[in-house]
Chains A and B, each alone.
Chain A
């Protein structure tokens, strides 16, 4: 069975600092990769996704992530965070199983950005 590891459980930054959240997965087959964000009191929503092509993907609000197949990683980055980026961030992997894709989430990273 596949698994997803998020290395940073709690991150505290000041505004304008750079952000990188690590995500590694274990699955040797075809995967789709996602980062989701959950702002306080809101639903989980998609931040960005990768399924093929350019391994550097750009999402909403200036976030980007790079898929490194050889390292089974999909790290999330943002060059300059804002107070409004305070949220929970979840990495997720959809692993192909037969004709379907089965999702697995990491445990999440809580990001607090101080103004």
Chain B
């Protein structure tokens, strides 16, 4: 089966510019996650969708970050305007419920550099 797809793989922007990331989950996976992984740290959950509804976005900096999953399939994450501290790898993952638990499958990530 095809894995989680993300694009672009790399992005370099200047501070105050905007950027968008795209994620296509594994077919049939109802749950989609966006994470931010800063160098030397573990992934931090930004937002979790169940179909096209938001389950958790408590760690999403809503003044500059937004995400949507309009048709319950693919998703976009946007940063506007970007700050230097947004430099990180942005990971997308998807999961489905099997035997009572959710196993996540991760995409390759988008490495963002803000200069």
Contacts and interface: CB of A to CB of B under 8 A. Distances in A.
Interface of A: 1, 4, 6, 32, 34, 36, 43-46, 49, 51-52, 90, 92, 94, 97, 100-108
13 contacts: A32-B101, A36-B106, A43-B106, A43-B108, A44-B43, A45-B106, A52-B100, A90-B42, A94-B101, A100-B48, A101-B101, A102-B55, A105-B42
A60 to B, nearest CB: 13
Main secondary structure of the interface of B (DSSP, over half): strand
Given A105-B43, A107-B41, 10 more contacts: A1-B58, A44-B93, A51-B99, A94-B101, A97-B56, A100-B50, A102-B56, A105-B45, A106-B42, A108-B41
Given A43-B107, A43-B108, A97-B56, A105 B44 contact: yes
Contact of A32 (B3, B35, B102, B106): B102
Contacts of B113: none
A38 to B, nearest CB: 9
A90 B103 CA distance: 14
A111 B45 CA distance: 24
Contacts of A94: 101-102
Contacts of A108: 40-42
Contacts of A104: 45
Nearest to B98: A51
Contacts of B104: 34, 46, 103
